[in-house]
Chains A and B, each alone.
Chain A
Amino acid sequence: EPEVTQTPSHQVTQMGQEVILRCVPISNHLYFYWYRQILGQKVEFLVSFYNNEISEKSEIFDDQFSVERPDGSNFTLKIRSTKLEDSAMYFCASRRDSSPGANVLTFGAGSRLTVL
C-alpha cells in the first residue's frame, strides 16, 4: 500500500536555526498538507498546497514558515528561525483529488522537532 514518507523522523535543533522537514507524498496525489501536534495537544492544520501554490494556511503558519515542492516529488516545510514553541510533531498528508470519495488524507509517520 502506498505511503507518505517523512524525513527526518526526529530532529533536534537550537533556537533560531532553520529547519527543513521533508515529505514524499503518494505519487498520484495532488493535494498536500502539513499539520502539527504539540505534545499533549490536538492535531492542528498548518497549510494546504495544490498546483504549486498554497491553497490555505492557518494563523499558525506565519512568515517563519514556508512550503515548497521543489522537484515534483518532495514537499518540504521550512521553518526559518525556530522558536521553542515550534517543538512538535509535524505530519505531512496528501490527498488524491477533490472528487467526492477522494477526500481522504493519508498521513506520514511524522517528524518530531525538538527546539532547545
Chain B
Amino acid sequence: AQRVTQPEKLLSVFKGAPVELKCNYSYSGSPELFWYVQYSRQRLQLLLRHISRESIKGFTADLNKGETSFHLKKPFAQEEDSAMYYCALGSTGANSKLTFGKGITLSVRP
C-alpha cells in the first residue's frame, strides 16, 4: 500500500529563515515523489519532482530511499512562499495514481 506522511500541519517562519517541510513515504515499488503547492484560492500545481532533481523557486527536495523521505527545503523563505504544500507519491505503471500526504501550511511572516 502507498502511504505518505507529513507529520506537521503548520510551519510558521520569518522571511529569510530556512524552511524544511518533512515528508516520509511507504511504498513497496520504485517510488516517484512530488511536491505540489496550492497558493491561496488557486489550484494544486506541481512544484517539483524527484526525478528532475531541479530547484524551483529556490526549493529543493532530495529523495532518500534509506530514510524513505523526500523533505522539501529552501534556505531563505519569502513571503510569497506562503501556501499549502502537499507531498505526493506516484505509483508506477499504467494505472499510476498519486497518493497525497495531509499537507502542511507554510506561513512566512515579514
What residues make up the interface of A, taking CB atoms closer than 8 Å to B?
A: 31, 33, 35, 41-45, 48, 50, 55-56, 91, 93, 95, 98, 100-101, 103-110
Which of the residues A43, A93, A95 comes within 8 Å of B86, measured between beta carbons?
A43
Size class of the B contact interface (CB-based, 8 Å): 20 to 34
| SS class, residues of chain A in contact with chain B | strand
Task: Beyond A43-B86, A43-B100, list 19 extra A-B contacts (CB 8 Å).
Answer: A31-B96, A33-B98, A41-B102, A42-B100, A42-B102, A42-B103, A43-B103, A44-B100, A45-B100, A48-B95, A48-B97, A56-B95, A91-B43, A95-B96, A98-B96, A100-B51, A103-B96, A107-B44, A107-B45
| B20 CB-CB contact with A under 8 Å | no
List 18 A-B pairs, Cβ < 8 Å.
Answer: A35-B100, A42-B102, A43-B44, A43-B103, A44-B100, A48-B97, A55-B94, A55-B95, A56-B95, A56-B97, A98-B93, A98-B94, A103-B96, A104-B49, A105-B98, A107-B45, A109-B42, A110-B43
| B70 CB-CB contact with A under 8 Å | no
Which of the residues B42, B90, B100, B103 comes within 8 Å of A103, measured between beta carbons?
B90
Report A-chain residues with C-beta under 8 Å of the C-beta of B99: 45
B34 A104 Cβ-Cβ under 8 A: yes
Q: Mark B33-77, 1 if CB is under 8 A from A, else 0.
A: 010100000111110010100000000000000000000000000
Which of the residues A33, A42, A100, A101 comes within 8 Å of B97, measured between beta carbons?
A33
A-B CB pair tally, cutoff 8 Å = 55
A107 B43 Cβ-Cβ under 8 A: yes
A109 B43 Cβ-Cβ under 8 A: yes
CA distance A50 to B93 in the complex (A): 13
| B81 CB-CB contact with A under 8 Å | no
